[in-house]
Amino acid sequence: MRRLEIEWDVTNEIEMSFFRIRKKLRTVVEKSLHPFGLTPPQFYILMILRKSGTVRVTHLAEHMNVKPSAITVLIDQLVKLEYVKRSHSDEDRRVVMLEIEGKGLELFNEVLRSHNEWIKEYFLYFEAAEIIDFWTKLKKFEKAVDSMIDKNE
């Protein structure tokens, strides 16, 4: 790993920018999800299930960086609303599996259309190449953070 010689105030400003952007976007996301009766974590669960198909509760918890017990209440609500199906693995009955239901997929697609309408407004300030470049660098930064977390655990 190479060492960078940069001023700490630059890295601190980057960190603060992430914090401020996350806080602002969270507020906007909450407002956009409210008409659909979803919270951001519930929407994120539906997004993961749509992308990944049937998953273990433990996999979902790892993906969300929480303990399985922390998402139980969220899953219970989604199951009650018939957005998510919970079942036990055929190979190991102790393993709880989740998958998005048709009703949940319909809602997710509707929310995603609405979400994409407002999020695109934020990207109007950039050229397509800038967005791709930003996304590439953000993924690289996320991998670096994951690597440092794994190294320190």
pLDDT tens, residue by residue, 103-116? 999 999 999 998 88
Query: Does the domain at residues 8-115 carry the CATH identifier 1.10.10.10?
Result: yes
* Residue 23, pLDDT score: 92
* Residue 6, pLDDT score: 67
* Residue 5, pLDDT score: 65
Structure tokens at 4: 């960078």
- Taking a C-beta distance cutoff of 8 angstroms, is the pair 21, 63 a contact? no
- Taking a C-beta distance cutoff of 8 angstroms, is the pair 32, 118 a contact? yes
Which stretches in the chain have pLDDT values below 50?
A: none
List the domain boundaries for the chain: 8-115
Residue 58: which residues within 8 A CB-CB, separation 6 or more?
68, 95
